[in-house]
Structures are given as C-alpha cells and as structure tokens.
A and B are shown apart, each in its own frame.
Chain A
Amino acid sequence: MNRKTKILVTALFVSASAWSLAATGDGAWLRKVPAADRARQNPLPHDESTPKAGQLLYMQHCASCHGNDAGGRGKRPSLRTGRVREATDGELQWLLKNGSLRNGMPSWSSLPEVQRWQLVRYLHSLSVSSAPE
C-alpha cells in the first residue's frame, strides 16, 4: 500500500467516525415509527422490579454512551428529556430494536424483546432534567 492510499484510507476512516459522532439526536427517528409499533403497550407489570431490572440493563448496555445518570455524555444525547418521557412505550421499543444507525444509535435487537421492555419501563421512570434537550 503506497503512502497516498494509506492517507486516503485513514482519512475515510476518520471522517466516517467523525460523521457518526457529529450527528445529533434530533428525534427524527420518531417520524419513522410505524403506527402499529407506536401503539404497542408495554406488557410488563407496573411494579418495582421492572424498572430496577431495566436500570441494570441500562448500566450494562447504555451508560457508556448516555452516562450513568442518563443525562448524556459529551454530544451523546440525554435521555432525561421531554421527548423520551412523552414517547410511547411502542416508540421506545421500536427505537431500541431498530436503532438510528445513521445517527450513531446502534440496534439492540440482540437483546430479547422482554429486556427491551424492561429498559423502556426504566426510561419512562426517569425524571426530566432542566438542561436543554
């Protein structure tokens, strides 16, 4: 591989990372949620253990990006926002399953659906912070 090729490959790699990291969580994903998914209800009971389990899952899978308190990290968006609070169970379930790949949010379809419902319950238990969204 000559020097020019190396520089080109490196530039491509860095710009792809930067593009991913620069995109903002603007909530555009909400417009993509099909009506049937939007209307889905969380089948898990409103008890103490469901959000608690969701919090443990959050700490394991989400906290490295969104912060331990879900308040965001760097340019990674806060989840303590009105948008998350007001999103339906089905909308959050859809986002966790599909991600928003162009904006850097990975798909979490590898998690069983019931674990994503546990996460949804936890996200809806978060209080909204006063910081701007």
Chain B
Amino acid sequence: MSLHRKILLFIALGFISGAVRGQEMPYFVAYSHHMEEPGSLEVETRTATGRPRGDNRFFGNSTEWEYGTTAWWTSELYVDYTSTLGDATALGGFRFENRVRPLMSEHWINPVLYAEFEDINGADKSVLEVVGHDAAADFAVPVAEARADRMLEAELKLILSSDVAGWNLSENAIFEKNLSNSPWEFGYALAGSRPLRLQASDLRCVFCAQNFTAGAEMYGGLGDRYTPGLHNTSQYAGPVAGWQIPNGPRFSFEAGSGLNDYSLAHLFRLGVAYEFGQLPGLKGGR
C-alpha cells in the first residue's frame, strides 16, 4: 500500500471511529473541568498536520478512548500514529491518563488534577501538548531515526476551568518529566469558547447555531527546570470551532499559527468524536 493510501486510510478510520458529544469543548491541547459521563465511552481521533520549513508535511494522529469511571474521575487511553509525506508511517506510542475532580460541586473556578504516563517515541507528532524547548525542527527528524528514541514520560497538569455566561474559560499548567535522567519541562494551555447560540431550538436541527461552538486556544512551552521561561520555546495560537451533531458525532477544527521562529508556521488540527452512552453491562444505577 502506498504512503498516500495509508494516510487516507488512517484519516478515514478516524472519521469512522468518530469523536465527541455533550460535555467536551473543541480544544486540542487545553482541558476543561468537564468530565466524561460515568459509564460512557467516547472515542475520538485527532489529527494534527504541519510542515517544517524546507521539509515534508506530517500528519500526527491520536486516537483516544475516554471512559467515565465515575462522575468525578475520567480515564483515557491514547494510541498515536505519525505519517510524513515522502518518508514513513509509524506508531508513535501509547498514553494512559486519569483526570480527577477534587471538588464535588461547581465553583467560580474548578480545579482538576491530571496524571498521565506516556510510552512514546520521537516519531510521535500528535502534538497533544507543547512543553520545554520543543521546536519545529523536531518534526523534521526522519521517522526511522526519530522512532528509535523511546521516551517513558510522566505528565502532570493542573486544570483550572470556569463557565461564565455561556463561555468556558480553561487554563492548564503542564509539568512533564522524561523518566530517564532529564529535567522537568513546563508548558501551558489557555482556551475559551462559547456556543454561537445559548438557547436551544425547539426543532430538531443539525445546523442550528446552538450546535456550533467558536473560540480560541493558545499553548506553548515554558522551558525546563534549568532554563525556565519563553526563550527558545514554541508558541501557538489560533481559532477553534466545534460542531456537535445532536446524538451524533462531534467535529472540531483548529487553525493554529506559530508565534515565533521556533514554532511551525501553521499547525492545523481536525478532531472527530463519538460517544457511546452507557456501555452494555454498565447500565446500572447511580
């Protein structure tokens, strides 16, 4: 199978598997405090594509299975793939994350604690976060060479999020540690979004304004333990949009732009999600 067909196949598989309904915001890096409903499974695929200067375009795909363990605890498993035009397609690795809400009711700002274990390699280009001194040049390393660089990493996040007048505002602080002898790396993500219409229509509709969400997201690295700050870090910002088909899949899109020469010029993302409400065998009570 040619590389182009492989790319088309795995993008098509992403669409088929679907991704998002209900509680999710159309962000790609930032998390809000909204959790998966208990007993529900959401399958989502996100594809990031960019082109390092003077190199070939890459497609970094991440397929995730998000399960609501309880109303305050959500678990996710990710599998990452990467394809680079004119190069190769490779498995980027696995991630397992858990998010916990320590407070049991809504406040003006709602914290969520996040812990993730990653078994990934250098070919992973899903760009689910940007930390430390991650650079555009990292995306230009040939896949065969990059995948030999295996990384076992732990990632912690402090997620803060608020819902105000129809807006969701989310702020994330990211702390990542390669479990080998590497320093802690830092990053952040900020995002805000709002439905185009707050009041729901009394008609069944797919294209009603209430089903569309628009906003913006910004994220980047903040250096590491020894060299904290913005120097030699990648920074991205761009508009995000989401479309939730009632009782159907959710689509999200982001057109990110690099804010400095250390970043990719553009980073486009597409997400498709579908939620399987109340898995068979877990239709028990609450």
Contacting pair A56 B204 (CB below 8 A): yes
CB distance from A69 to the nearest CB of B (A): 15
Report the count of interface residues on B (CB-CB < 8 A).
Answer: 43
A87 within 8 A of B: no
Contacting pair B286 A112 (CB below 8 A): no
CB distance from B150 to the nearest CB of A (A): 16
Contact with B along A45-73 (1 / 0, CB 8 A): 00011101110110111001100000001
Chain A residues with CB under 8 A of B106: 97-98, 107, 109
Contacting pair B201 A13 (CB below 8 A): no
8 Å CB contact of A98 from B73, B105, B284:
B105
Contact with A along B192-204 (1 / 0, CB 8 A): 0001001111111
CA distance A57 to B203 in the complex (A): 11
CB distance from A36 to the nearest CB of B (A): 14
Contacting pair B199 A115 (CB below 8 A): yes
Contact with A along B156-173 (1 / 0, CB 8 A): 000000010010100000
Contacting pair B200 A115 (CB below 8 A): yes
Contacting pair B199 A114 (CB below 8 A): yes
Contacting pair A13 B75 (CB below 8 A): yes
CB distance from A54 to the nearest CB of B (A): 8
CB distance from A71 to the nearest CB of B (A): 14
Which of B71, B277, B286 is the most central at the interface, judged by chain A CB atoms within 10 Å of its CB? B286
